[in-house]
Chains A and B, each alone.
Chain A
Amino acid sequence: MIRLSDQPFEPGALLTEFSKDRRETGAIASFTGIARAEAGKTEVLELEAYPGFTESEIGRIADQARIRFGLDDLLIRHRIGRIEPGEAIVFVATAASHRRSAFEACDFLMDYLKSRAPFWKKEHGPDGARWIEPRSEDYADAARWD
Protein backbone atom coordinates (compact mmCIF):
# COMPACT_ATOMS: atom_id res chain seq x y z
CA MET A 1 0.00 0.00 0.00
CA ILE A 2 1.32 3.38 -1.01
CA ARG A 3 0.12 6.58 0.59
CA LEU A 4 1.20 10.20 0.60
CA SER A 5 0.10 12.20 3.59
CA ASP A 6 0.33 15.82 4.67
CA GLN A 7 -0.25 14.78 8.30
CA PRO A 8 2.36 13.40 10.73
CA PHE A 9 2.34 9.63 11.19
CA GLU A 10 3.65 7.29 13.87
CA PRO A 11 6.07 4.70 12.41
CA GLY A 12 5.61 2.27 15.31
CA ALA A 13 1.87 2.16 14.79
CA LEU A 14 2.33 1.56 11.05
CA LEU A 15 4.75 -1.31 11.73
CA THR A 16 2.42 -2.89 14.29
CA GLU A 17 -0.50 -2.74 11.88
CA PHE A 18 1.62 -4.05 8.99
CA SER A 19 2.92 -6.98 11.08
CA LYS A 20 -0.52 -8.18 12.24
CA ASP A 21 -2.00 -11.52 11.21
CA ARG A 22 0.86 -12.86 9.16
CA ARG A 23 1.30 -16.60 9.54
CA GLU A 24 3.44 -17.26 6.47
CA THR A 25 5.63 -14.15 6.48
CA GLY A 26 8.93 -15.05 8.10
CA ALA A 27 10.54 -11.62 7.91
CA ILE A 28 9.54 -7.99 8.09
CA ALA A 29 12.04 -5.17 7.55
CA SER A 30 11.28 -1.51 7.95
CA PHE A 31 12.95 1.85 7.52
CA THR A 32 11.94 5.22 8.95
CA GLY A 33 13.46 8.43 7.62
CA ILE A 34 13.37 11.41 10.00
CA ALA A 35 13.69 15.09 9.05
CA ARG A 36 16.97 16.40 10.51
CA ALA A 37 17.42 19.78 12.16
CA GLU A 38 20.97 20.09 10.73
CA ALA A 39 22.10 21.95 13.87
CA GLY A 40 19.47 24.65 13.46
CA LYS A 41 19.99 25.16 9.71
CA THR A 42 16.68 23.47 8.91
CA GLU A 43 13.60 24.89 10.58
CA VAL A 44 11.15 23.15 8.31
CA LEU A 45 11.23 20.91 5.24
CA GLU A 46 8.73 21.34 2.44
CA LEU A 47 8.00 18.30 0.29
CA GLU A 48 6.19 18.65 -3.00
CA ALA A 49 4.72 15.81 -5.07
CA TYR A 50 2.94 15.63 -8.42
CA PRO A 51 -0.45 14.25 -7.31
CA GLY A 52 -1.38 11.12 -9.23
CA PHE A 53 1.93 10.85 -11.04
CA THR A 54 3.98 10.46 -7.85
CA GLU A 55 1.77 7.63 -6.56
CA SER A 56 1.76 5.82 -9.90
CA GLU A 57 5.55 6.08 -10.31
CA ILE A 58 6.10 4.73 -6.80
CA GLY A 59 3.55 2.01 -7.58
CA ARG A 60 5.57 0.95 -10.61
CA ILE A 61 8.73 0.54 -8.51
CA ALA A 62 6.78 -1.19 -5.75
CA ASP A 63 5.55 -3.75 -8.33
CA GLN A 64 9.15 -4.29 -9.44
CA ALA A 65 10.20 -4.83 -5.82
CA ARG A 66 7.39 -7.35 -5.24
CA ILE A 67 8.56 -9.45 -8.18
CA ARG A 68 12.32 -8.99 -7.82
CA PHE A 69 12.44 -9.86 -4.11
CA GLY A 70 9.40 -12.13 -3.97
CA LEU A 71 7.67 -9.98 -1.37
CA ASP A 72 4.47 -11.00 0.36
CA ASP A 73 3.57 -7.37 0.95
CA LEU A 74 4.92 -3.85 1.30
CA LEU A 75 3.92 -0.51 2.76
CA ILE A 76 5.17 2.94 1.80
CA ARG A 77 4.08 6.09 3.61
CA HIS A 78 5.60 9.40 2.54
CA ARG A 79 4.99 12.85 3.94
CA ILE A 80 4.29 15.83 1.73
CA GLY A 81 3.83 19.45 2.73
CA ARG A 82 5.61 21.02 5.71
CA ILE A 83 7.63 18.72 7.96
CA GLU A 84 9.28 19.71 11.23
CA PRO A 85 12.67 18.33 12.32
CA GLY A 86 12.17 15.13 14.29
CA GLU A 87 9.07 14.11 12.36
CA ALA A 88 9.06 10.99 10.21
CA ILE A 89 9.27 11.86 6.54
CA VAL A 90 9.13 8.35 5.08
CA PHE A 91 8.29 4.84 6.28
CA VAL A 92 8.86 1.66 4.28
CA ALA A 93 8.03 -1.87 5.44
CA THR A 94 8.55 -5.09 3.49
CA ALA A 95 7.31 -8.59 4.25
CA ALA A 96 8.87 -11.74 2.81
CA SER A 97 9.40 -15.39 3.67
CA HIS A 98 13.05 -14.80 4.60
CA ARG A 99 15.07 -11.89 5.97
CA ARG A 100 17.41 -11.26 3.01
CA SER A 101 14.54 -10.45 0.65
CA ALA A 102 12.89 -8.19 3.19
CA PHE A 103 16.11 -6.26 3.94
CA GLU A 104 17.08 -5.90 0.29
CA ALA A 105 13.64 -4.82 -0.87
CA CYS A 106 13.53 -2.16 1.84
CA ASP A 107 16.99 -0.91 0.80
CA PHE A 108 15.98 -0.95 -2.90
CA LEU A 109 12.78 1.02 -2.25
CA MET A 110 14.55 3.65 -0.15
CA ASP A 111 17.31 4.11 -2.74
CA TYR A 112 14.61 4.68 -5.33
CA LEU A 113 12.66 7.12 -3.14
CA LYS A 114 15.76 9.20 -2.34
CA SER A 115 16.77 10.04 -5.90
CA ARG A 116 14.20 8.85 -8.44
CA ALA A 117 10.71 9.25 -7.01
CA PRO A 118 8.82 12.41 -8.03
CA PHE A 119 9.32 14.55 -4.95
CA TRP A 120 10.96 17.97 -4.58
CA LYS A 121 12.37 18.98 -1.25
CA LYS A 122 12.94 22.50 0.00
CA GLU A 123 14.76 23.31 3.20
CA HIS A 124 13.71 26.46 5.07
CA GLY A 125 16.20 27.86 7.58
CA PRO A 126 17.35 31.09 9.21
CA ASP A 127 19.30 32.00 6.05
CA GLY A 128 16.35 31.48 3.70
CA ALA A 129 15.17 28.54 1.62
CA ARG A 130 16.98 26.21 -0.75
CA TRP A 131 15.98 23.23 -2.90
CA ILE A 132 17.75 20.01 -2.02
CA GLU A 133 18.99 17.74 -4.79
CA PRO A 134 20.14 14.18 -4.21
CA ARG A 135 23.81 13.79 -3.26
CA SER A 136 26.11 11.84 -5.57
CA GLU A 137 25.99 8.99 -3.00
CA ASP A 138 22.20 8.87 -3.42
CA TYR A 139 22.53 8.42 -7.19
CA ALA A 140 25.28 5.81 -6.70
CA ASP A 141 23.10 3.94 -4.18
CA ALA A 142 20.19 3.81 -6.63
CA ALA A 143 22.49 2.70 -9.49
CA ARG A 144 23.52 -0.39 -7.48
CA TRP A 145 20.19 -2.00 -8.43
CA ASP A 146 20.26 -1.22 -12.18
Chain B
Amino acid sequence: MARVLLFGPLRDVAGWRERETTAETISALRTLLSREDAALGAALSAPGVQVALNQALVRGDAALDARSEVAFLPPMSGG
Protein backbone atom coordinates (compact mmCIF):
# COMPACT_ATOMS: atom_id res chain seq x y z
CA MET B 1 0.00 0.00 0.00
CA ALA B 2 1.74 3.15 -1.21
CA ARG B 3 0.80 6.54 0.16
CA VAL B 4 -0.42 9.26 -2.22
CA LEU B 5 -0.15 12.97 -1.38
CA LEU B 6 -1.71 15.90 -3.21
CA PHE B 7 -0.58 19.52 -2.85
CA GLY B 8 -1.95 22.96 -3.64
CA PRO B 9 -4.86 23.19 -6.08
CA LEU B 10 -4.81 19.42 -6.71
CA ARG B 11 -6.18 18.92 -3.22
CA ASP B 12 -9.13 21.18 -3.96
CA VAL B 13 -9.84 19.35 -7.22
CA ALA B 14 -9.74 15.93 -5.52
CA GLY B 15 -11.32 16.85 -2.19
CA TRP B 16 -8.64 14.87 -0.33
CA ARG B 17 -5.05 15.39 0.71
CA GLU B 18 -3.73 11.92 1.35
CA ARG B 19 -4.75 8.32 0.74
CA GLU B 20 -3.45 4.80 0.34
CA THR B 21 -3.26 2.98 -2.97
CA THR B 22 -2.65 -0.58 -4.11
CA ALA B 23 -1.30 0.57 -7.50
CA GLU B 24 2.06 -1.01 -8.29
CA THR B 25 3.41 1.72 -10.55
CA ILE B 26 2.98 5.47 -10.94
CA SER B 27 1.26 5.03 -14.30
CA ALA B 28 -1.15 2.47 -12.81
CA LEU B 29 -1.86 4.95 -10.04
CA ARG B 30 -2.64 7.69 -12.60
CA THR B 31 -5.01 5.34 -14.42
CA LEU B 32 -6.72 4.36 -11.20
CA LEU B 33 -7.18 7.95 -10.03
CA SER B 34 -8.42 9.09 -13.47
CA ARG B 35 -10.96 6.30 -13.58
CA GLU B 36 -12.37 7.32 -10.20
CA ASP B 37 -12.24 11.06 -10.83
CA ALA B 38 -11.81 12.33 -14.39
CA ALA B 39 -11.26 15.93 -13.26
CA LEU B 40 -8.43 14.84 -10.97
CA GLY B 41 -6.96 12.66 -13.74
CA ALA B 42 -6.86 15.68 -16.06
CA ALA B 43 -5.40 17.92 -13.34
CA LEU B 44 -2.62 15.39 -12.61
CA SER B 45 -1.60 15.39 -16.30
CA ALA B 46 -1.72 19.18 -16.66
CA PRO B 47 1.48 20.96 -17.72
CA GLY B 48 3.81 21.78 -14.86
CA VAL B 49 2.63 19.02 -12.51
CA GLN B 50 5.67 17.13 -11.20
CA VAL B 51 5.82 13.83 -9.32
CA ALA B 52 8.01 13.01 -6.34
CA LEU B 53 8.62 9.43 -5.26
CA ASN B 54 9.95 9.10 -1.71
CA GLN B 55 10.68 12.84 -1.71
CA ALA B 56 12.74 12.83 -4.93
CA LEU B 57 11.45 14.14 -8.24
CA VAL B 58 10.89 11.45 -10.88
CA ARG B 59 10.11 11.65 -14.57
CA GLY B 60 8.10 8.93 -16.28
CA ASP B 61 7.10 5.71 -14.60
CA ALA B 62 8.41 3.97 -11.50
CA ALA B 63 7.49 0.96 -9.38
CA LEU B 64 5.72 1.44 -6.04
CA ASP B 65 5.90 -0.71 -2.94
CA ALA B 66 4.36 -0.66 0.51
CA ARG B 67 6.74 2.01 1.77
CA SER B 68 6.44 4.31 -1.25
CA GLU B 69 5.26 7.88 -0.91
CA VAL B 70 4.05 9.44 -4.15
CA ALA B 71 3.40 13.19 -4.23
CA PHE B 72 1.82 15.14 -7.07
CA LEU B 73 3.23 18.67 -7.13
CA PRO B 74 1.45 21.37 -9.15
CA PRO B 75 3.31 24.53 -10.27
CA MET B 76 5.17 25.92 -7.27
CA SER B 77 5.12 29.46 -5.94
CA GLY B 78 6.87 30.77 -2.86
CA GLY B 79 8.23 34.08 -1.62
Contacts and interface: CB of A to CB of B under 8 A. Distances in A.
A116 B78 CA distance: 8
Interface in A22-49: 33, 47-48
B7 to A, nearest CB: 6
Interface of B: 5, 7-9, 12, 52, 55, 71, 73-79
A110 interface: yes
Contact of A90 (B7, B8, B76, B79): B79
Contacts of A110: 79
Contacts of B73: 50, 118
B7 A134 contact: no
Nearest to A90: B79
A53 B71 contact: yes
B79 A114 contact: yes
Contacts of A116: 76
Nearest to B9: A131
Interface of B is mostly: loop
A110 B77 CA distance: 11
B59 to A, nearest CB: 16
Contacts of B55: 50, 52-53, 56
Given A53-B52, A131-B9, A138-B77, 9 more contacts: A33-B79, A90-B79, A113-B78, A117-B78, A117-B79, A118-B73, A119-B79, A133-B77, A134-B75
Contact of B8 (A33, A52, A113, A120): A120
A119 B77 CA distance: 5
Contacts of A122: 8
